[in-house]
């Protein structure tokens, strides 16, 4: 059998490690995770402190530059983003071209990719000023694009961003201001959004970040590399999990399946179902982000006066899991996405937007990781090896000779 470890191929010894369970692709000074202890720090600062005190843009600055900004650095960074939230006018046609029922993640990925066609003056990965501008463009324009993806799907007009507002207020207005244009989100909701985005902002070499690095290692531009990250994040085993949790809870409610009965199905691996929002490649303990989100869910639902049965259902599932050998032995705990959907839904986001919100959150991390890679003299083009298992040499047979 083939296992993890050095293997001999025709060209020498290689390490076979499916899913890179044990292979470091890079050195990185951005994010520290201790999965056994349930610790997450950005640039050394615990996630709990950032969620409590920081903002999305300040955390983005920290991730990208390595340090918290001074007051004037933060103001300059915020202004450089605020002034770039608009999209080129003809960009709107890109969004209008998609079918109404297109998934917003697919639309977002296409939009991010299209930035390379509209903003060709900031594509050079080795030009520091170009990278600074493309960074600001991405952080500023992705929320606009995300809201446009939503608006087009609902047949609503594409509004202009209002740059007198914070990035998050602006995004919430672009999402929800219809038909009332002067929509202003409750400050608690704005703060909850900031916190959720901070919690998602980086997670070292996860699937989408690795995709960004791999594409970027070929010296592809930042926009193109990030669009690969959006694509990877759309998968249900990664960013799609937050929507999958909601779908799971909705199905349990609609079909009147009790938490216990559902958990039996999961444990028996019936139809391969998993408890979505549970388990993590790195955390073998409670995901520290999930703890914060759980508290936030309570707060937001109370503020909005929403009584969502799904929160009770999710809490029951968690309680069963924490006391069940199947989950305990496999060290399966709630991950960040177990409770996020309940908050997003309470704020008013449709399920298909959940993963888009994850993408907005993860964007600063993708950018920071891409920039770290570009600046690293040890970077080489990513090019994994394989263990060939196909046919040995055989000759081509003419069509007439094949039966």
Query: How many residues in the shown chain lie near ligand ACO by CB under 6 A?
Result: 18
Taking the C-alpha atoms of residue 98 and residue 95, their distance in angstroms, rounded to an integer, is 6
Instruction: Assign residue 183 a region (left: φ > 0; alpha: ψ between -120 and 50; beta: otherwise).
Output: beta
Concatenated DSSP letters for 331-372?
A: T--B-THHHHHHHHHHHT--GGGHHHHHHHHHHHHHHHHHHH
| CA nearest to 25, candidates 374, 368, 384 | 384
| Nearer Cβ to ligand ACO (153/248) | 248
What's the first-to-final CA gap in the chain, in angstroms? Answer: 34
Q: What minimum distance in Å lies between the beta carbon of 230 and ligand ACO?
A: 14
Residues from 254 through 283 that contact ligand ACO (CB under 6 A): 266, 274-281
- List binders of ligand ACO among 293-332 (CB under 6 A): 330, 332
* Of 337 and 372, CB closest to ligand ACO: 337
For ligand ACO, the closer of residues 87 and 296 by Cβ is 296
- Rounded Cα distance between 25 and 281, Å, is 16
Round to whole Å and give the CA distance between 383 and 227: 19
Alpha helices in 287-336 (DSSP H): 288-304, 309-322, 325-329
Q: Is residue 241 close enough to count as binding ligand ACO by CB under 6 A?
A: yes
Site for ligand ACO in 91-120 (CB under 6 A): none
CB of 30 to ligand ACO, least distance (A): 17
We find the least distance from the C-beta atom of residue 130 to ligand ACO, in angstroms, to be 31
**Least distance in angstroms from the C-beta of 239 to ligand ACO:** 6
Rounded to an integer, what distance in angstroms lies between the CA atom of residue 150 and that of residue 6?
Answer: 48
Q: Which of residues 136-155 bind ligand ACO (CB under 6 A)?
A: none
Residue in the shown chain whose Cβ atom is closest to ligand ACO: 279
Binding mask 210-239 for ligand ACO (x = CB under 6 A): ---------------------------xxx
- Pick 222 or 276: Cβ nearer ligand ACO: 276
Contact 266, 274 (CB under 8 A): yes
Nearer to ligand ACO, 129 or 281 (CB): 281
Q: Exposure of 91 by Cβ count < 10 A (0-12 exposed, 13-18 middle, 19+ buried)?
A: buried
Contact characters 169-208, ligand ACO, x per CB under 6 A: ----------------------------------------
**Sign of the alpha-carbon dihedral angle for 258, 260, 262, 264:** negative
Of 177 and 207, CB closest to ligand ACO: 207
In terms of Cβ atoms closer than 10 Å to its own Cβ (0-12, 13-18, 19+), residue 394 is exposed
CA distances to 33, 331, 337 from 287, in Å: 10, 11, 10
Cβ contacts of residue 325 below 8 Å, gap of 6+?
A: none
Concerning whether 337 is annotated as a catalytic residue, the answer is yes
Minimum gap (Å) between residue 143 Cβ and ligand ACO: 20
Marked catalytic residue, from 150, 200, 280, 287: 280
Please confirm, yes or no, whether 280 is among the known catalytic residues.
yes
Of 134 and 209, CB closest to ligand ACO? 209
Nearest distance in Å: CB 338, ligand ACO: 7
CA distance 303 to 312: 17
- Select the residue interacting with ligand ACO from 337, 339, 365, 370 (CB under 6 A): 337
Residue numbers annotated as active site? 280, 337
The residue ranges that bind ligand ACO (CB under 6 A) are 237-239, 241, 266, 274-281, 330, 332, 335-337
């Amino acid at each position: 059998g083939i296992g993890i470890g050095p293997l001999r191929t025709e060209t020498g010894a290689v390490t076979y490690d499916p899913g890179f369970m044990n292979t470091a692709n890079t050195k990185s000074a951005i994010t520290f995770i201790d999965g056994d202890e349930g610790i997450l720090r950005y640039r050394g600062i615990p996630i709990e402190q950032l969620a409590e005190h920081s903002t999305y843009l300040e955390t983005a600055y920290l991730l990208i530059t390595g340090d918290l900004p001074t007051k004037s650095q933060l103001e300059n960074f915020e202004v450089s983003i605020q002034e770039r939230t608009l999209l080129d006018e003809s960009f709107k046609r890109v969004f209008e071209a998609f079918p109404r029922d297109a998934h917003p993640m697919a639309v977002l990925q296409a939009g991010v990719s299209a930035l390379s066609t509209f903003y060709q003056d900031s594509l050079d990965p080795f030009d520091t000023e170009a990278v600074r501008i493309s960074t600001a463009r991405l952080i500023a324009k992705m929320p606009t694009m995300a809201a446009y993806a939503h608006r087009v799907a609902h047949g609503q007009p594409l509004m202009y961003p209002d740059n007198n507002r914070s990035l998050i207020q602006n995004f919430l207005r672009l999402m929800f201001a219809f038909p009332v244009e002067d929509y202003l989100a409750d400050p608690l909701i704005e703060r909850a959004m900031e916190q959720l985005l901070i919690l998602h902002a980086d997670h070292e070499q996860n699937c989408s970040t690795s995709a960004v690095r791999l594409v970027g290692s070929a010296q592809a531009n930042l926009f193109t590399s990030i669009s690969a990250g959006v694509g990877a994040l759309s998968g249900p085993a990664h960013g799609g999990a937050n929507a999958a949790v909601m779908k799971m809870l909705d199905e349990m409610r609609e079909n009147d399946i009790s938490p216990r009965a559902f958990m039996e199905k999961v444990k028996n691996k019936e139809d391969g179902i998993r408890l979505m929002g549970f388990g993590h490649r790195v955390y073998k303990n409670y995901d520290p982000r999930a703890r914060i989100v759980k508290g936030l869910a309570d707060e937001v639902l109370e503020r909005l006066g929403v009584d969502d049965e799904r929160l009770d259902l999710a809490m029951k599932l968690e309680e069963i899991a924490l006391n069940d050998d199947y989950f305990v032995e496999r060290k399966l705990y709630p991950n960040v996405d177990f409770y996020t959907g309940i908050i997003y839904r309470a704020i008013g986001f449709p399920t298909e937007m959940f993963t888009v919100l994850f993408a907005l959150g993860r964007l600063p991390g993708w950018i920071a990781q891409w920039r770290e890679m570009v600046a690293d003299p040890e970077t080489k083009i990513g090019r994994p090896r394989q263990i060939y298992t196909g046919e040995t040499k055989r000759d081509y047979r003419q069509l007439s000779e094949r039966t």
